[in-house]
Every structure is written in C-alpha cells, then in structure tokens.
Amino acid sequence: MGFFVCFVISSVCFVISLPSGGTEMAAEKDPVCGMTVDSDKAAWNYEHEGRKYYFCARSCFEKFSVDPLKYLAPKPVLVSLGGLGSKPSMPATMKKKAPAKQEYFCPMDPEVISDRPGSCPKCGMALEPRIATLDEGENPELTEMKRRFKICLFLTIPVFLLAMSEMIPGQPVQHALGHRVVTILQFILASPVVIWGGRPFFERGWASITNRSPNMFTLIAIGTGTAYLYSIIATLLPGIFPDSFRGHGGEVPVYFEAAAVITTLVLMGQVLELRARAQTSSAIKSLLGLAPKTARVIRSNGIEEDIPLEFVVVGAKLRVRPGEKIPVDGVVIEGSSPVDESMLTGEPMPVEKTPGDKVTGGTINGAGGFMMKAERVGSDTLLSQIVQMVSEAQRSRAPIQRLADVVAAYFVPAVVAASIITFLAWSFIGPEPRFVYALVNAVAVLIIACPCALGLATPMSVMVGTGRGANSGVLIKNAEAIETLQKVDTIVIDKTGTLTEGKPRVMAVFAADGFEQNEILKLAAGLESASEHSLAAAITAAASQKNLPIAGFSRFKSITGMGVTGQADDGRQVAVGNQKLMDSNGIAVEPGLIQKAGELNSEGQTTILISVDGKIAGMIGIADPIKDSSAEAIRQLHQEGLRIVMLTGDNRTTAQAVASRLGIDEVIAEVLPEEKHEVIKKLQGESRIVAMAGDGINDAPALAQAHVGIAMGTGTDVAMESAGITLVKGDLRGILRAIRLSRATMRNIKQNLFFAFIYNALGIPVAAGALYPVFGLLLSPMIASAAMTFSSVSVISNALRLRRLKL
C-alpha cells in the first residue's frame, strides 16, 4: 500500500503541474484546411510570430510547421510617400526567402534524419528539430504524451485500488462484488490504458524488431504485453491453469494493475523526459532570440522605415537607435556608441564603436545612435553561423560514446535472455505458486532495464555543454573537440593577432646616410601596398597619416618568410624585409642600424630593413601591442597545469621580449608559415597533447594538425574552418573557458555513464530476485517501471546542470 500512496500522490501532483487550458470555448480556424477548431481541446498547436495557430489533425500541423508562410498570406503595408502616391513598402525586388525545410534527428542516433516529426526507428526516441526555432511551439510529441498520461492515470487509479483491495482486512470489496467481477472490472479499465495509452510503445517496439535494433520500447512492449495477455487468458480461461499458477485461495492471479501502472508510469517518464530534453535546446533558442524582428532601413530618398529583418539586403543603410538590437552584421558609417556584445562574447564591458568599426547582429546598442551599412544578412550573419555550428556540434558523437554504443548493441538481447533465465529458474526452484513468481520476476527484469539511460548519457551532456559554450563565446565544432581538449597539456599560441592586437603600428623610422625618413617610408609603403601582410598595412597606414605620395612599383615579388622586392617607377630596385632578405641579396647593414635593431627587438618591436639599388637605406620599427587580457590569461592557463608555447615568424630577440613579459614557457621563433604544422608535429612526437591557437590563413595547416585547433573569432574564415573550437571574442581567456567547459562536460558524461552502468548492473539482478533468498524481498514490476523512468530522467537532469556552469 505504501507504493500505491506514493504513486497516487506523485501522479496527482504531476497532473496538477501540467498546464491546462481555459474553461471558455474558443473557436479558431485551422490555417491549412480551414476547419473550425476548438482551441481549448485542440491537441495540435503551433506558435508563429507571436500568434498561436490550432489544427484539427496532426497532418495539418506537420504541413504548417514545415512552411507557415505557405498558409499565411501576409499583405504588404502601404505607406504614403507624399505626392508620389502609395505603394507597398516592400519593393518587388526584396523577396523574402522561403524558409529552409525543417529536418528532424534522433539525439541518440544522429544519423537518423526525417523530414517530419515522429520516433526513431532504431531507439524509439522522439525526433527533435535539427535547428531549433523560436516559433516552433510545444513539442507535439510532448502534447500527445501529456494527453495520454492524464487519461491513463484517471483509469489506472481505480484498477490499482481494485487490485489492492485484497489486502484490506476482511476483503470487503471481494465479498461485495465477488472475485470474478473485480477481475472483469480491472480488465475493462486496464484495456484502454494498455492498448490505447501504450500504443506508441508497442509501435516503437515493433519498429525496433523490424529494424533489428531492439531498444527500451522492445522491453516495455514485451513486459506489459506479456502481463496483459496472461491476465486476459487467466480471466477468460482460468480452468486451463495448473495449481502451480494458482494462489493460496485457488484463484489464478491477474496482473492488469501491473500492465496499467507500468504503462502510465512510462507515459509519465516520457513527459518528464521530453520536458527535460526541450531545455537542452534553450541555448540555441536564447541565441535565436537575440535577433530583432525588424530593422530600420534608410531609403535612397532619405525616408526611414521599419521592415522585417528578412528583407534586409547587403549594402542597405540602417539606423540603429539607442537601446536597440543591431539587426545584422555590418560596419558603422556615421555616429558612435558603446555596444554590449556580452551575449556573444561573454565579455561584460561594452565596446565603443565608431565609423569604420564592425558591428554584429544581435548585440545591443548603448546610449548613442549610429548609421550602419549591412554586410552580412540572413544565414551569413555571425549569429546565424553560431546557431548552425552549435546545432551541428550537438548532433556529433564523442569518441567516449563508442563504449555505450557497443554495450547497447548487446544490451536488449542480453536482458531478454536474463528474463527468460529468470522465468525458468523461478519455475523450477521457486516457491509456490512457482509460475506466478516466475512471471512477475521475468516481467520486472524486462521493465527495469534501461538502455535509454546508456544512450542518453553522452549526447545530452554534449548538447547542453555546447549550448553553454555558445552563450560564453566558445563555439565547439564537434563533440570530439570537447573530449580531446580536456586531455591537452600543451597550448601553442601564434603571436600576431592572438597574443597581440594584430594591429601593428610604425613606432620609428631610421634613415641611413644619404637617405631621408620620408623617402624611406614612401618607398616602403609603395612596395608594400600590394602585400596583404599586417606589417605591410602598418607601413602604408603610417605613410598615409603623413600624407606622403605612394611610389609606383612594378615587378613586385613576394618572398615567403623574408619580404618583398620590386622596381620603382623611377627605375630603382627596392627590397623591404628582414635580415634574411638582405643577406640573400648580399646587402651589408650598417653597424649602427644593427645595434639599433637589437635595441628595438629587445623592446618587442619588429624591425623592417629597406635597401635601394643594393645599398641599405634605412629601417622601420613596428610594434604590435599585446592584448590587455593576454598576461592574465597566460597566468590562469599555467594554474590549470598547461605548458604555453609561443610560435612566431619574428626574430628570436623580439619574440623572447614578448614571451618574458607574458611569462610564456617556451618560444619557437623565426618559423616560416609553411613550417608551423611541422612544429606541431614535432611537439606531438614528444608525446604531448597539443592545442594550437591562431587566427590567420597561414595558421590553418597547424590548426588542422593539432589535436585541437582553436581559432580566434577575429581571424580569417579559413582558420575557423580548420579549427575544432572558435572563440568569438578572439581573446585568450576564451581558451580558459573552453578548457573548463571541456573538463566539466567530460566529467558530466562520465557521471552519467557510471550511473547508467551501475543502475542496470544492480537493478537487473534485484528484479530477477537476487535479494529473495536472503531478505525475502521481491521487486514489483510497477516499482521497476518507476525506477526505469527515474534512470532516464536523472541522466538528463544531471546533464542540465551544465547550464549553470561558471566559466
């Protein structure tokens, strides 16, 4: 009776917690078929752009959810343009893109893809959208399971009361109605619960058999089906059973209450599981919620107008007012304002934006207003790419999942075998009534086993972990990167753009005898104007600031790792580069310049030498400021037990000066771009687990070679494509966040796997009756069902703890 009290109280409380509709009747029109639907009773609804639509059937819901705009015909808003007449505010050329067709996947088996909602044919789990949307409404699977649970609970409670009435002293119910009537009442009440309420489980169980992928629903279907069919036969044909099946009163016991309670508890477990799983996509939904619904476009005639975000095109001029969300990615062209980027980067301090600065869609404008030019819209924006990357990462498999996959492949057949062995053992050596004990314990073994807990252990943690990372500016490409990063012991960091700002500036210009500073700068800027190197940009910027005319050049030649050469329009041969370039051309450098170069290098500056017609002409000192956060990030990485290696093409003196200021363990300098991945190989050959952090095109091979590549979000698309992790902020502190996230996620996965293995390792023997010889205890199939439900929900709940992880 204790279990019954707990069951009733928990179930009633659970029903009370379920959202209920209003009491008033409300007629709505199905947007697909046009049928009038009672919104209070409709099982299917879908929220789109703030409005909820109701459907008469699942087929209408599925059609609408794939393409709402097909069934909603929005009319263009007309605005007066004063004297020009009225016309639609949306030009005919600004067509709204048709939404991509939604696909659904299975969290446990990501390779299973469907074009509609349903259940996975391999594991039986409800499929989830590949990319979450804000207006998708409540999961229709959850809505249906809640409806089935409520009705089945209403029918199951009297079945349970009737079954337990035999335990009341004097058995008043049995005497009043008779044993036969009580049994028939249980049959009548339990049948809709098992047949209708348990139909999804039987369908999934049968699908698993036809697909040769037995799963949790295979066991549930066999267990409840066996108990129910046995009870029907015992009710209709009790005379065919021998004494070994009869109780002490001579009656053949039935287990309608076991079949009904198990079905109802599994339904409750599905509701709890679907609710918990819905929370794993909360990170993506919060990212989607960052984008505003509209943007304020400035027309060519100066008129400003609010238009839907999807109508913004590249090149459009947009007005962003104080406190508004920035609609798309672009560049500020007028005005200035602080912008809160914390929702994408995790950095709490606003960043001042002025003309020429990049702004990102979804970030929040501060106190000032500005005008911007749209550069990336739609799926090309950073926010859209983040959502896409997180969605793909959540569907990826971590290597540790292979262990669970191997176990799961043999798990269900092993459980069925254990159930058969249990039945045979109790049938031959169990107490009387032997076959009754055998049946109950065999069903308990089937019900308590939970392969679902094993299958969910890894993907749930990965889904929540990648979402948590995205909210802190750490974008994870796949689950393998999470698992590998927590093993890393060495981090190789490219200097330029990673440790430094990546915005070098000319600090000094020195002229040799017979040359002037401005002449040197003019020649160097003219030759470097054809180069894309960051140092070249610094030289051309310095010449531009002094309003120096840029010299014209021909026969431009870039020599990797050394510099550039060319012929000026006046016929002079000019070379701009490092000492290696001068040596290769046989150009002697004055002792005074060599000494000065050493001094600048010791201060962390890079020195560029210039020669004219085979004679040294001068030198330019360039400094790339170290990021304010680099020193603190290096210190914290050391506290995590990591070895830091700086990799750079700069000369050793300059590199060592930067390393000493930051406390870096090892410096590898004067490395050519094509040699970087060889350096990574060498470190890996020393049995180190290496992560590489970089931001440039020439870092891509090294990022791909490393065990884990970390791309700085301020860098190139090529670098990000080669990396397993991208830091939106381009800040070294993001590496620390990524490592903490990786370690916490893997710890969470191991906790889930440990619990799932221990639960099944202990639960199955207990259900088989292992405690009976010593303690005289047997596990009811109903309690086994509750335990099975708890195991899946507990794994998901543990994974959800990662949402509160402090990074």
Count of domains for the chain: 4
Which residue, of 53, 77, 101, is where some domain finishes? 77
Helix (H) or strand (E) holding 295: strand 294-298
- Residue 634 and residue 739 in one domain: yes
Q: Report the DSSP beta bridge partners of residue 27.
A: 38
Strand partners, 53: 46
* The pLDDT of residue 394 is above 70: no
| Cis peptide bond N-terminal to 350, omega within 30 | no
| Residue range 54-80: mean pLDDT, rounded | 59
CATH number for position 634:
3.40.50.1000
Same domain flag for 676 and 740: yes
Q: Do 657 and 513 lie in a common domain?
A: no
Residue 483 lies in a domain: yes
Assign 591 a pLDDT band (cuts: 50, 70, 90): confident
Q: Which tokens hold the place of 424?
A: 């045979």
Do 616 and 631 lie in a common domain? no
**Interacting residues of 323 by C-beta distance below 8 A, sequence separation 6+:** 364, 365, 366, 367
608/683 same-domain check: no
Instruction: State pLDDT tens for residues 476-503.
Output: 888 889 999 999 999 998 887 778 877 7
User: Which whole number is the average pLDDT over 659-672?
Assistant: 87
Q: What secondary structure letter does DSSP report for 119? A: B
pLDDT of residue 720: 63
Confidence band for 384, pLDDT divided at 50, 70 and 90:
confident
The crossing angle, in degrees rounded to 10, of helices 382-395 and 451-470 is 160
pLDDT, tens digit (0-9, with 9 covering 90-100), for 732-766: 888 999 999 999 999 999 999 899 888 888 889 99
Confidence tier at 111 by pLDDT (50, 70, 90): low
Among residues 346, 380, 414, the one where a domain terminates is 380
Q: Once rounded to an integer, what is the mean pLDDT over residues 669-694?
A: 87
My answer on whether 496 and 634 are in the same domain is: yes
- How many CB atoms neighbour CB 734 within 10 A? 29
Lowest-confidence region among 178-187, 275-284, 441-450, 604-613: 275-284
pTM over 0.75: no
Q: How far is CA 351 from CA 20, 354, 366, in A?
A: 45, 10, 9
**DSSP label at residue 126:** B
pLDDT of residue 751: 93
Residue, of 702 and 370, whose pLDDT is higher? 370
Q: Identify which has the larger pLDDT, 347 or 401.
A: 401
pLDDT reported for residue 23: 41
Could you tell me where the DSSP H helices lie in 529-651?
Answer: 534-545, 579-584, 591-602, 630-639
Percent of the chain past pLDDT 70, that is, above it, reads: 82
Q: Which residues form the domain of 657?
A: 471-500+627-744
pLDDT at residue 144 is higher than 50 = yes
Least confident of 361-365, 398-402, 440-444, 485-489: 398-402
- Looking at the structure, tell me whether residues 612 and 648 fall in a common domain: no
Q: Residue 549 domain-assigned?
A: yes
Mark whether 632 and 740 lie in a shared domain. yes
Question: Domain boundary residue among 360, 380, 400?
Answer: 380
- pLDDT level of residue 125 (50, 70, 90 thresholds): low
652 and 682 housed in the same domain: yes
Question: Is residue 401 situated within a structural domain?
Answer: no
Whether residue 697 is found in the same domain as residue 654: yes
As a whole number, mean pLDDT of residues 410-416 equals 87
pLDDT, mean of residues 296-307: 88
Q: How confident is the model at residue 619 (pLDDT cuts 50, 70, 90)?
A: very high
Give the domain CATH number at 327.
2.70.150.10
395 C-beta neighbours (distance < 10 Å), count: 21
pLDDT score recorded for residue 729? 76
For the chain, give the mean pLDDT.
80
Q: Is position 560 within any domain?
A: yes
Q: Of residues 712 and 71, which shows the higher confidence score?
A: 712
Q: Give the mean model confidence (pLDDT) for residues 246-250.
A: 63
**Both 331 and 370 in a single domain?**
yes
- Judge if 701 and 725 occupy the same domain: yes
> 654 and 642 in contact (C-beta within 8 Å)?
no
Predicted confidence at residue 486, as pLDDT, reads 92
Active site residue 494: yes
- For residue 216, tell me if it sits in a domain: no
Quick one: pLDDT at residue 537?
A: 83
Residue type, 98: A
pLDDT at 138 over 50: yes
* Contact (Cβ atoms closer than 8 angstroms) between residue 709 and residue 478: no
Q: Assess contact for 333 and 355: CB atoms under 8 A.
A: yes
Task: Note the helical H segments in 313-400.
Answer: 342-345, 382-395
Q: Which of the residues 30, 109, 329, 494 is marked catalytic?
A: 494
CATH of the domain at 547: 3.40.1110.10
Give the β-pairing of 317-320 and 294-298: antiparallel
**What are 8-33's pLDDT values in tens digits?**
334 434 333 444 444 444 667 777 76
Does residue 211 form part of some domain? no
| 570 within domain boundaries | yes
